[in-house]
Structure 1
Amino acid sequence: MANLETCLICIDMQNDFCLPTSPLCVAGAMGCLPKVKQAIDVARAKQMHVVWVIREHDPSGVDVEFTRAHLFKDGAGSTVPGTKGAELVEGLEVRAGELVIVKKRFSAFLHTHLDLVLRRLKVQRVVLCGVQTPNCIRATAVDSLGHDYETLVLSDATASKSEAVQDANLEDMRCMGIATPTVAAWAAAL
């Protein structure tokens, strides 16, 4: 049975955020990858909408937040289109019919067409997975709630630099009314 009112959004599961050799590596990213894959499999099996949100920046860094500008000095950079670092981590792939939204900031809603797409698809419930919980996941979750979507963050399919940071952010989001089930609990409730 199709569940078209729900959209699973997978955020920033790119090499520059997931691989241990990257300067932007989120320590728990590779650990949550199996649960991210599981969440995507559940969404596809239930015929939910799947949206991939990725970061991409101009090689000059002109469009990166000032706190990351230092990463673009001397021609270096992160999540630059066409580089290995900007690609989805191995094991994840966009399938036909799934949308890709490019963002420049933490929230997937900020200066993107995500809300327009979700409204066109008649989505009422947003489910988030990916990295990093205190930044891109949390900012997107708060904006999702602010746009009046029922919002869930999959607690074991998201990651932070430490378990303490992960737990604190999940607790804060629960206090805002954002549900934080595990992938198994979410899937069982469908």
Structure 2
Amino acid sequence: MPLKNLARLATSPSPRGVERSSASIKAAKISGDFMGSTKWNETAMLVIDMQNDFILPDSSVHVADGLAIVPSVIQAVSVARERGIFVIWVVREHDRWGRDVELFRRHFYADGKGPATKTSKGAELVDGLSIEGGDYKLVKMRFSAFLGTHLHSLLQNSGIKNLVVVGVQTPNCIRQTVFDAVSLDYQHVSVISDATAAATPEIHFANMRDMKNIGVATPTLQEWCSSDP
């Protein structure tokens, strides 16, 4: 999708299926206050798996609601940079034969053309997103951005105490990364509710509730952009 179309989508209404109950709206207000207590220079944004193979609908492994959040992720990254937040692009870049992927996914690589293989178009960031100076790219091989990577040491060495997470998909890479961050005692962990996505809104919000129940903040993009350090 051309960048000009994505920019136009950024001003469009929220995608179908993301209406929230009064209880979730109340929770979001609490989440906004939670994020308002953080310091941006001690915060990193993890942008997870916003790659062509996981976002574009012509891919066999795309996340159904992934394309709809691209404008929100673009805006979240822009605001993060303005605030001086450390932006980390967490991506998958696999061996073409799948020798480094989860066992249950290896059948995708039988012909040497599996998703998000190194140097492939599918492994590139979706149109509208790009790595800029001061950002950092981290390659992971499993759901959690912490498992088998140097993410924790990178964050510790950078003085990071707080995390904001956007990307796909909520029940897998988002959830496992967030649960690991909580286990590692990061002070404030937030998931921007409308800058993350799953296969369906039902799956998305069920997992958002689970993360909220372990102390994770779940502001909307608007609430997060309006919060103060």
User: What interval of TM-score do these two structures reach, taking the shorter chain for normalisation?
Assistant: over 0.9
Measured in 2, the distance between the counterparts of 1:168 and 1:3 equals 28
Give 3-state SS (helix, strand or coil) of 2:167's partner. strand
Larger Rg: 2
CA RMSD of aligned residues (A): 0.9
Q: Could you say which residue in structure 2 is the equivalent of 1:45?
A: 82
Where does 1:116-127 land on structure 2 (aligned, <5 Å)?
A: 116-127=153-164
Measured in 1, the distance between the counterparts of 2:113 and 2:120 equals 11
Measured in 2, the distance between the counterparts of 1:80 and 1:50 equals 23
Where does 1:30-109 land on structure 2 (aligned, <5 Å)?
A: 30-109=67-146
Give 3-state SS (helix, strand or coil) of 1:62's partner. coil
Q: Could you say which residue in structure 2 is the equivalent of 1:189?
A: 227
Deviations 1:28-54 (A, max 9, x none): 111011110111011011111100000
Measured in 2, the distance between the counterparts of 1:15 and 1:88 equals 6
Measured in 1, the distance between the counterparts of 2:64 and 2:135 equals 27
Measured in 2, the distance between the counterparts of 1:111 and 1:75 equals 24
Q: Could you say which residue in structure 1 is the equivalent of 2:178?
A: 141
Deviations 1:163-188 (A, max 9, x none): 00011000111011111111111121
Matched, 1:3 2:40: yes
Q: Could you say which residue in structure 1 is the equivalent of 2:213?
A: 175
What is the number of equivalent residue pairs in this alignment?
189
- Could you tell me which runs of 5 or more consecutive residues in structure 2 were left unpaired when the two chains were aligned: 1-38
Q: Runs ≥4 in structure 1, deviation > 3 angstroms?
A: none
Measured in 1, the distance between the counterparts of 2:106 and 2:167 equals 23
Measured in 1, the distance between the counterparts of 2:41 and 2:139 equals 22
Quote how far apart the aligned CAs of 1:76 are: 2.1
The TM-score normalised by the length of structure 2 is: 0.81
Matched, 1:113 2:146: no
Give 3-state SS (helix, strand or coil) of 1:4's partner. helix
Measured in 1, the distance between the counterparts of 2:157 and 2:222 equals 29
Where does 1:16-31 land on structure 2 (aligned, <5 Å)?
A: 16-31=53-68
Measured in 1, the distance between the counterparts of 2:194 and 2:47 equals 13
Quote how far apart the aligned CAs of 1:86 are: 0.3
- Could you tell me which runs of 5 or more consecutive residues in structure 1 were left unpaired when the two chains were aligned: none
Quote how far apart the aligned CAs of 1:137 are: 0.4
The TM-score normalised by the length of structure 1 is: 0.97
